[in-house]
Amino acid sequence: MDITPPIDLTPDNFHQLLADRNITAEQVNQRDGDPFSEMNLIRRAITHARKTTPFIYRNALPTLPDTTAWISELVHQTRAEQTRRDAITPVLRRGRSLLLLGPTGVGKTHQAYGTLRALAVTGITATWTATSSADLYAALRPRTGIDAETEFRRYAHTPLLLVDDLGAAKATEWTEEINFRLVNHRYENQLPTLFTSNVLPKQLADRLGDRVASRLTEMCDRVVITGQDRRRQDAA
- Contact region with ligand ATP (CB under 6 A), list: 85-93, 106-114, 180-188, 199-207: 106-114
Select from 45, 106, 136, 166 the one that contacts ligand ATP (CB under 6 A).
Answer: 106
By beta-carbon proximity to ligand ATP, the closer residue of 97 and 125 is: 97
Query: Hey, which residues between 40 and 99 contact ligand ATP (CB under 6 A)?
Result: 56-57, 63
Count, residues near Mg ion per rule CB under 5 A: 1
Closest CA to 69 of 50, 35, 95: 95
Minimum distance, C-beta of residue 102 to ligand ATP, in the bound complex (Å): 6
Minimum distance, C-beta of residue 12 to ligand ATP, in the bound complex (Å): 13
SS3 state of residue 189: coil
* Alpha carbons within 13 A on the beta-carbon side of 130: 20
By beta-carbon proximity to ligand ATP, the closer residue of 12 and 165 is: 165
Contacts of 201 (CB under 8 A, 6+ apart): 101, 222, 224
By beta-carbon proximity to ligand ATP, the closer residue of 19 and 61 is: 61
Measure Cα distances from 170 to 143, 199, 200 in Å. Answer: 21, 12, 15
Is residue 198 a contact point for ligand ATP (CB under 6 A)?
yes
> Using alpha carbons only, what angle is made at residue 231 by residues 155 and 14, rounded to the nearest 5 degrees?
60
Q: How far apart (Å, rounded) are the C-alpha atoms in residues 16 and 177?
A: 41
- Contact region with ligand ATP (CB under 6 A), list: 6-14, 101-109, 175-183, 208-216: 101-109
- How remote is the C-alpha of 59 from its chain's centroid? 15
Q: Do β-strands 97-101 and 220-224 pair in parallel, antiparallel, or remain unpaired?
A: parallel
Measure Cα distances from 38 to 91, 145, 161, 188 in Å. Answer: 12, 41, 23, 30
Select from 77, 109, 115, 122 the one that contacts Mg ion (CB under 5 A).
Answer: 109
Helix 173-188 × helix 148-157 angle, to 10° = 40
Residue 215 binds which of ligand ATP, Mg ion, none (CB < 5-8 A, kind-dependent): none
Residue 105 binds which of ligand ATP, Mg ion, none (CB < 5-8 A, kind-dependent): ligand ATP
Query: Hey, which residues between 128 and 167 contact ligand ATP (CB under 6 A)?
Result: 165
By beta-carbon proximity to Mg ion, the closer residue of 119 and 130 is: 130
Is residue 108 a contact point for ligand ATP (CB under 6 A)?
yes
Q: Are 137 and 175 in contact (CB under 8 A)?
A: yes
* Alpha carbons within 13 A on the beta-carbon side of 204: 21
Minimum distance, C-beta of residue 236 to ligand ATP, in the bound complex (Å): 13
What are the residues binding ligand ATP (CB under 6 A)? 56-57, 63, 102, 104-110, 165, 196, 198, 230-231
